[in-house]
Structure 1
């Protein structure tokens, strides 16, 4: 039961006309949500939505369809297993959604519009807001591109208010080094904040970042912990493929540049990563990430810089710091860091993958090109191949070689084909498409397999192609005991 609860979410609703906030327990006959007091609500009474399913879409679609004025209500999703703490905080923030819009952004649920409901009733969906973007991402919209490299004006921060409302202490942030990160549009490490609501404190772990509003005031944005990254949901207009999800789970980075849709509907080439501390999916526009050609004391080549700009990881590379210490690391652009990072465990993971491939015989075959294609050959066993035979071989087809010789030095027909399992070419006197060539059946049996038959049991000389019986009187008179079982 505890395991199932971790995969569930509940809804908190706010009546925008009356200001009433409560946990959702169902729908009334008029389509409005049934709500109960957040603090006294029993989790078992709340409407819960299983992770990985879409009942929340059906619930909210019914709400939009039945309710006379859906815009009267606002909804916020909360993890069921942290309802006792996060639910109370979200409920208090929802009392003033405009003032707390930034802090509620991660949890707000957007409802389908009335136009969507009428024009596309079968396609009505409820989509959560994508995870809140970092300060540097928002600053990218500003005309001054250098703004993302400039520190936030600390004089605009109301530390007394942050201390009172969130329990955030400036000196503690400075001592831990988190303040510097936050002032340069990055997030702190996980810290414990103690927001105070209705005279009660609720300790919650979160990462913090600063964001400047249009009036120039600096506000703190908490990034709460998610149980797992939401990779099955559309992220800023982009759907993650199976390969995308595997890359994000393995390295924390998507490993390529993709086009995301911003709030104005524009397509923006971006990097995508997972915040490894909170499991939040985050992005940053490519134009807002500056990649230097020097990491520590190590100079990167132009090719390496271009590979990083494409979002791809560099193979394990030795990087020297200012103290002369060297580290074998994998470098890659992180949207969470808004720059190049050392991928945690990247070098070890690549080394283990190579060892695993070698132990399973999956190392790169010398008969394959770098991109895994069959490498062309022009001859086999010294026998030249025609252009058509070469083309058939690289296409993986069977190539009939009629000018080969068998183990006894006699001309024979051989079938050549690339074997994908062995990752090399293999030959046989047996046609893999049918049987042994008619002209070589007896020859193969006698010369290669050591068999005999009535017609050839007295022949001491190797048989030749097309030969099925003694070719002359001298061979018929030879006395030789068969060396193998009868055919």
Structure 2
């Protein structure tokens, strides 16, 4: 496979002599909040990094941002990224490294915090891709250039700033309600999860949540997302962890073959496109994968997949692109990692990620010395790499909560999976972990044994996370080890039949708007007042399958085609139609 051909270098801006070799270049992983300093750049754009701390400051590379090797580095960096929004390049003058604002921002990033200092640091020093040629410019220069090029109409609409495009409007989220799950806006933002959720994605990690139903309290780990509710507000979607994927049951009309099951369990992807039955009875070609964090089965329409011409510096052949569209796994050699090193890997469409993923089959060894702050023995590390489960006591979560758990490496990802039961024990005779203290109340060995046998115990004077005392019956799930709390028998909720309401968020709907909604059309509702007091406008459309109204920032009836092939076909078709009209006009004349 041929490597990417270099394009002609763009003209360099003129710089004064004292600006040469005076910048320090940083690379920031915005999702993990890891900051690295570039220590070396070769002529072909490959680079090496060191931690961005005082210990390695003498290794920081001082560079002219307009030098050829820096331009090659930028082109190489942006071209190899699968998710450019996740990473950022920052160019900081050497003499500003010890200023209070820069020092504070670097310290906050190292501590995993997204503070005002970090926000200002990125705004001032981040370099961003400007166009398809992978040229890059600084945010300060970008704002100045945008002001020069924008029309008065654009300036009036945007207020001089480009707003991020989100699937959900934050003003429609009731944060007071989310506090019932132990969540807050600040908590999600500090962990880098809020942006993902507002864009319509699930969090890239599991999050501990607690739910208090009055008669029962449930604590669990789950991936989170925002979803449209029946009544209008954006509500919390909870994607709980399943014990294993449900592959023995039909999935939207598809029955998994033995080969399908084998592929999904080994790679997380089914390896082919299948027709899934939609809610309206139509059959939709789709990719199917497994969420490796929760074991949930996830599908994506095949027409929405984007297949690039090049990945990590390697140009794909037409056959390779075709194989990817068919869901197959292909092996690609000579790709360039962000460190500048070459690597080989399989790549395949992953429906859960909605993009191409890299599959490494020989890089799943666990080499950490600690888990949750607890030092592991050599035997425990060897057992993990041998595929066995170990029990680790006294670990600490990021929020400070101490917990104990069985740990086993996930076969697909190689990451530690934490469970309250021993995954090596057989189903029906699970070995589960029962703590010796529940919500601040010590329990006896007899009570622990009763819980292991599936019996119910009753505890007084427990304290929940809000500091409130409560008493409850407690029972353990013998398969998962999770504890359930109850004072009264569970009740059942009945759904009311969905009807188009007279009002949306206290905004009176006209007769025509209600008629359009009833016929399945989207309507624009203006004057909605959000929880934050802001007045917003939203497109609204009835979702009869789910019995609710869905809200959108953009008109959902506007047809979009995310398929690369169809986009190209449409452009070609328009060109042919224009040529045809021109030729007809010429013949009439």
More strand, by proportion: 2
TM normalised by structure 1 equals 0.38
Which of 1 and 2 has greater Rg?
1
Greater relative contact order (CA < 8 Å, ≥ 6 in sequence):
2
TM normalised by structure 2 equals 0.32
